[in-house]
Structure 1
Amino acid sequence: MTGRATPGRRTVLASAAGIPLVVGAGGLAALAGLATGCSGGTPAAADTPHPTPPAVPGAALRARAATDSTALLARYDGLIAARPELTARLAPLRAEVARHAQAFGAPAPKPAPAGTTVTTVPPTLGTLADAERRLADTRATALLDAPPELARLLASMAAAGAAHVILLTAKG
């Protein structure tokens, strides 16, 4: 008897592994193999598993949608800067695109400084409508692989983009 009130490490390991406490030559090697992994204290930091945060379904898709909305917002700002006479017509659509960006997690957008063109494409209503159309199509396609809540948001934003195309290409 060793005078311990609690079972020792070898006893616990042996019983957990199903090795009889009266060990023969083969059992002693198995017991030694089990005991070598123990450090006697708390596990080292390298041995402690670090829990990885659970992946948020659709996080990458949501981030991409936020980036796309922010880029579209820059196109609105570029056209408004280049053609200030269109401000009244474009302001409600721009405000909606800004809300879309925020719904996808982008920070609250700030308008571009007056007189600056943000895009390299010469801004026209046609190029803006094309950008809206491409983004609406991209979102309609992306919603097929999105989790349900994000799919509903993408569908809503795709529909809004399609409506923007109609408003941007309407005469008058």
Structure 2
Amino acid sequence: MPYPPPPRTRPGPRRRSLLASAAGAALLAGCSAGPDSGEDGPSAATRARARAARDSRGLLARYDAVLAAHPGLADRLRPLRAQVAAHATAFEEGATATATATATTSAAATPVPAAEKDAVAGLAAAERALADRRAKDLLAVPGELARLLASVAAAGAAHAYLLTEVAT
């Protein structure tokens, strides 16, 4: 006799999937090349770190725009925004000031949808796309930066899931 399905299935990835993804990313990061093994290693790592800092600042600007347009979402979005700010700071520790400065101005002009649900869905899509890009980028950078990218990619995937839950 088969068991009946659970009464309600939530959309999006399950906790186990997120944890498995994070664990897989951490394993990949642990298997990455050693620190700066080639001639272009340091510059590639520096460029990747600067790009990650710029992307985090851009995402942070998106959060700020949504919070300014929809103050009623503040309780739900501020904890996620704080984590994105911490990610930006972590990447900026080794990035150049020029790369960081261009990030803040590029995403500030992002239009915010009038409906809260659409604004949150846009944030979820941005988090998901950035997490996917970081998961790919971590394969091309040295160990410590790869671990940081893996950790932030996993956090971004979790943010996307949580924002999807908020939007529904």
The TM-score, its normalising length taken from structure 1, stands at 0.60
Alignment of 1:63-142 (within 5 A): 63-105=50-92, 118-122=109-113, 124-142=119-137
Is the counterpart of residue 60 in structure 1 residue 47 in structure 2? Answer: yes
Shift of 1:55: 3.8
Counterpart of 1:95, as a letter, is A
Aligned mate of 1:155, from 146, 150, 157: 150
Q: Deviations over 1:66-122 (max 9, x none)?
A: 0000000011001101100000100000000000000001789xxx9xxxx741353
For 1:68 and 1:130, the matched residues in 2 are separated by 14
Aligned mate of 2:139, from 120, 140, 144: 144
Structure index of larger Rg: 1
User: Which portions of structure 1, spanning 4 or more consecutive aligned residues, are displaced by more than 6 angstroms?
Assistant: none
Distance 1:87 1:79, change over 3 A: same
Higher relative contact order (CA 8 A, sep 6+): 2
Retained in 2: the 8 A contact 1:137–1:158? yes
Retained in 1: the 8 A contact 2:66–2:112? no
Task: State the secondary structure of the residue aligned to 1:58.
Answer: helix
What RMSD over aligned residues (CA atoms) do the two structures have, in Å?
2.6
Counterpart of 1:72, as a letter, is L
Retained in 2: the 8 A contact 1:66–1:102? yes
In structure 2, the residue matched to 1:41 is none
**Bigger proportion of residues as helix:** 2
Retained in 2: the 8 A contact 1:133–1:165? yes
Shift of 1:57: 5.6
Distance 1:57 1:118, change over 3 A: closer
